[in-house]
Structure 1
Amino acid sequence: MAENIRYFPVNWIDGMKINKNHFIELQDNVEDLVRDARNMGVNQLKYGLLSTRFKAPFEYSVIIDEHNELNVSIKFLKAITPGGGRIEITDYTGEFSEKISLENYDFKENNRFLLLNVDPYNRVPTGTQNMDEIPPRFPHAMPKYYLTTVAEAEVTQNNIGPLQFPIGKFSSRGSVFETVDTYIPPCITVNSHPSLVKLFEAYDAFFKQMEFYAVQISQKIRFRRLSGDENLIADIVFATLEKILGYVGQSINQNRWNGFYSSPMEVLDKVVSLARIMKNSFDSFSGDGKEMVFNYFSEWTTELGSGDYEKLFSETINLKYKGYDMEPCVKGVMEFIEKTDHLFSILNQLDYIGRKKDSGIFVNENIVKTERTSGIFFKQEDDKNADNQDGSTSFLAD
């Protein structure tokens, strides 16, 4: 969203009297123009931590002590705000720290976000004072930073200020405050935060694994059809696998090319879209067909009942992406990845789709040796002996 340009060029004319205010106005105009240029590449859904070459783009702590005082210490932070404001706190600028007393806050059960504000037009002297000048002067200036808080109920995607950046979240329970350690701040790319790196690794492996499962299970269903053995469960699974194979096949190369420079919203959207494709495919066999398939799934994966699969798909496709608070969406997507991968790893080990569990027919076919026996979350014990082998889970993707 384009913010208004508020600081305009100085009208220089011959013979005018010059003072420092003219140069301050000139600098404010330059700052505003640079901010506006950065604003063209960011918005309320695309802003946050910037990836760096050798280290994480943030190093800060948010601690609430026993006296209900919020202590914030930022040693390193590189980020951009929704309006193009640049946050740069490094060894060259010095550490930023501030305390906020929580005694006067309304003691209701509520979550609050901690916002770092940057004001590039209100500069703070910095550096080593030059004693050779008269009067002595700090050689440089940096933007002013300060902290504010806002209740979670008052925050939407569009009302984070153009020069604000959420760095933390804390909750109040009566008169007790505690920080939310799982909070993920806004990020431009997934390599900006360790939790998002884990998300991308799981997502990338999941899509490759689903491609592998789709091909293997489809081959078994086709083979049974050639021998004249058809059943409704196999037909529904086969139709769903065809849609899965077409979708993940379009994404794997993009995952490889973009890698960890993918945006968090893009990664989360890919998984949620896959859940929608699968749910729509199962829903197209509504009635006895869908219920029969979900009952069949729950028969082989005792962790989830037939109703749990319906709930899993519905909750996943209804996840809401919030750039200022991604953790709930990331948690939901990771749960879908883990449970779906486990389901299809079991189906892939069956001799054919449709047999009941008590029939005694259960064949584990190791057609392609991978580093996992039951999907992306279960490693084999003999991984150490396979260090010289390719660790990919999909012969198609690699």
Structure 2
Amino acid sequence: MFLPEIKYNFVNWRDGMKITQKHFTENDFAAKDAIRDIAAIHTTNFSYGLLSADDGMTSALSAPILAGDVIQITECRGITPGGVRIEWKSLKDHPVLSLSLLDYKFKLGSAGVFYVVIKADPFKTVEVGEYTGDDGLNRRPYLAVKPTLDLLSMHDMLSDAYSFPICRLRFENQRFSIDHEYIPPSVNIHGEGLLWYYESCGTLLNNIQQLAVQIVRKIGGMQNRSSVAVDIHRILEKVLIHCAESMDYYRIVVKELSPVYMAEYFMRLARMFRISFDCLPETNAAVLFNYFQNTIAGTTGVFKTPVSAASKSLIDSMIDNVLISQYSHNDSTMLFDSIVRFLDFMDFFLQKLITLNYADNKGSWDIYAK
């Protein structure tokens, strides 16, 4: 939680006191500070970032434009970790947010990954609205917080009370390029990148559930089940219990929450696989993994990853890549990539399992049978 100190106090008004513009400004700042503080109290380390557009699906961040050495943003809606609302859309009185990268080139010197950060100080405002001469002052009628852009390296603190990253850049050969795979921090699941992960993971999860049902039904109907079949049946029953308890939660609720809840959902699924394998007796586990290695090979469906053999080390790595990854709200791309690859592998894995014969041939189970 980012909870900055309260900077401004309300003016102590007294009858007969001499009132100046400064008093009204300070009282206005105190009100802003109090509202920001209330918002910050309810903002966690994973509930700040971009807001969705009016349709609730697309991101209210315009695609960053890199024109030469200048990056431009025409629209952004969000909330900073300290509770400051950002609402900026380039109009006649709202100029485009821009940042010149030319000066940074001479400071950076080497290749690397950098982040464009949007900053919003609630006490730094600009006049907006159509000019009005009703009061004889020819002034704009309103004030608005104008965000600014900055460039930070991956080693810097990417977010504070008044800022968070919105774009990732790669710097190579003295040239900047936008990394379009980057997922900026978001209040909930929206925007092209996050929605792709949400929908892809949901589709793969549904496939895994349906395949697990078919395998459990197939093994359950056999009279002479092998020990390998019994272990597979036991593990996949746990998968189905997980799906039965939480599939509707994922379908209805998760999309409205911070992306961390989607990550947590699939980390629990990976943890369930890990514990289920670890609970097998050593002899059973050795037989089971030898069976997998000698019967399962092919290419995954989504990423077309070739699998020459489903060895224990490969299965462990697919699970552990999800479990050991840390969720970073400022850059969750790597974790979600590990999750969707894990699900892609498990979908492929179960598709291969469903075609196998699990019968024990007169007590001699051949783990190398094709």
TM range (shorter): 0.7 to 0.9
Identity among equivalent positions (%) equals 24
- The correspondence for 2:64, drawn from 62, 65, 74, is 62
d(CA) in 2 for partners of 1:286 and 1:322?
A: 36
> Which residue of the partner structure matches residue 163 of structure 1?
162
Cα deviations across residues 301-348 of structure 1 (Å, max 9, x unaligned)? Answer: 333231322211111211211100011111111111111111112222
Q: For residue 344 of structure 1, what is the amino acid of its counterpart? A: L
1:71 aligns with 2:66: no
Q: Closer, same or farther in 2 for the Cα pair 1:185/1:170, shift >3 Å?
A: same
Tell me the equivalent position of 2:123: 121
Distance 1:319 1:330, change over 3 A: same
Residues 142-181 of structure 1: CA distance to partner in whole angstroms, max 9, x if unpaired? 11311112211233xxx62111021111122342322211
What residue is the counterpart of 1:180 in the other structure? 179
CA contact (8 A) 1:316 1:333 kept: yes
Say whether 1:244 aligns with 2:239. Answer: yes
State the partner residue of 1:196. 194
Instruction: Pick closer, same or farther for the CA change 1:117–1:353 going to 2, 3 Å.
Output: farther
Q: CA RMSD in A?
A: 2.4
Moved more, 339-348 or 253-262: 253-262
Uncovered stretches (5+) of structure 1, i.e. residues with no partner? 361-398
The separation in 1 between residues aligned to 2:142 and 2:366, in whole angstroms, is 75
Question: How many residue pairs are counted as aligned between the two chains?
Answer: 350
How far apart are 1:124 and its partner, in Å? 0.7
Inter-partner Cα distance in structure 2 for 1:95 and 1:268: 37
CA contact (8 A) 2:114 2:152 kept: yes
Question: Residues of 2 paired with 1:259 and 1:308: CA distance?
Answer: 29
- Structure 2 matches for 1:307-386, cutoff 5 A? 307-352=313-358
Letter in 1 for 2:218: K
272 and 356 in structure 1: CA distance in 2 versus 1, 3 angstrom threshold:
farther
Aligned partner of residue 292 in structure 2, secondary structure: helix
The DSSP-based 3-state class of the residue aligned with 1:120 is coil
Alpha-carbon spacing, 1:357–1:292, altered in 2? closer, same or farther (3 Å): closer
Q: Aligned partners of 1:202, 1:214: CA distance in 2, in Å?
A: 18
Residues in 2 aligned to 1:168 and 1:286: alpha-carbon distance in whole angstroms: 48
Counterpart in the other structure of 1:18: 19
- CA distance, structure 1, for counterparts of residue 347 and residue 6 of structure 2: 50
SS, match of residue 119 in structure 1? coil
Give 1:142's aligned residue.
144
Choose the corresponding residue for 1:205, options 203, 212, 215. Answer: 203
Q: Which residue in 2 is equivalent to 1:108?
A: 110
Counterpart check, 1:271 vs 2:266 = yes
Change in CA separation of 1:153 and 1:292 when aligned onto 2, cut-off 3 Å: farther
Q: 1:64 to 1:15 in 2, by over 3 A?
A: same
1:316–1:329 Cα change, 3 Å:
same
Q: 1:297 to 1:105 in 2, by over 3 A?
A: farther
Alpha-carbon distance in 1 for matches of 2:259, 2:177: 26
Kept after mapping to 2: 8 A contact 1:294/1:309: no
Q: CA deviation at 1:251?
A: 0.7
C-alpha deviation, 1:77, in angstroms: 1.8
Following superposition, the deviation at residue 266 of structure 1 comes to: 0.8
Stretch moving more, 264-273 or 251-260: 251-260
Q: C-alpha displacement at 1:291, in angstroms?
A: 4.2
Distance in 2 of aligned mates of 1:65 and 1:91: 17
Are the structure 2 counterparts of residues 353 and 324 from structure 1 closer, same or farther at C-alpha, using a change threshold of 3 Å? farther
The letter of the residue matching 2:145 is: P
Write the letter of the residue equivalent to 1:36.
D
Deviations 1:23-59 (A, max 9, x none): 1111111111111121132122111122333262324
Task: Tell me if the contact between 1:80 and 1:87 (Cα under 8 Å) persists in the aligned partners.
Answer: yes
